[in-house]
Structure 1
């Protein structure tokens, strides 16, 4: 959104010769299916909507939803409570005659031909892939097919103890030692971890005269 505010909209203003401070968004729901409704995906959408609503409420001028399958109504019912009334009024779900409505809000030369406008790519492609990053499966060409052996993933070890020293658990470079009171809880922030990182922990319990390591 910061890029839109500081780059996209100023560039549009320069081209149009007048102030452009809002977006007209076209959401093409073609291909939306149950495979997209994972908890992590819904959580991501919810967080994104919350951030945009809290920080960029007036950037959206209008939002047109096209090619929406029946499943979309269920998805939108989950997102709608996160939207302000003003934003909800900007969202329109269009039927199959959407080109007519889109052309009422978008210049034909700015609307891809695939949506009823006159904009095409230099090679004549009406979907304008040089301008639009279309969603879809990741192409095989973009997936790492290397047969070379990879270095083992990094290991992050966290030791939880009530009153232990780093020396009793090994090198302090291997473990971060924290104390947890009886019946207590501790959150251990580890930051963003890439795929393949291994998390290990050692819980040391002191009870009177004996020591137990779990």
Structure 2
């Protein structure tokens, strides 16, 4: 049975390439990626029941990468599909390639932490979590999507410093942004946090 996949606020495991940067990449590869991820999305939402579509999506993402290997989104999307197919080691390799292209992409760094934790590589996972926190710190310092990045950073503390520290960090965000819809949406997820359940929700079909 399909699980509801929970993503952090502004988690950018984008199905489609960044429209602002699309002109920097091969348009044919971008089109192939977008069509592939529309099929993936249809499967996730239950519009398609045939699991074979995931093999097609993976094939098309590999085609996009063959055409243009400079787009980190292609590798991120490939990792998402591989994880769905329970190919976590291959998903990690794909994300590591994405990270070489875009080293400070916090969401990919966190995703690498989650994937490594899911296969029992806790020390490696902690290293990725720490890098993700630093990436969020840089965004916050640069005034980029302040609220969502503060929330995501606070959530990461569940995995690095424990529940008490994460909840305290979230309370600070609440005090700073009491009327934020993002804060209101995320509050139950902080209060009801369970590490195993959170890991399962982040990583599809585990």
TM range (shorter): under 0.3
RCO greater where, 1 or 2, for CA within 8 Å and sep 6 or more?
A: 2
TM-score by length of 2: 0.27
Higher CA-based Rg: 1
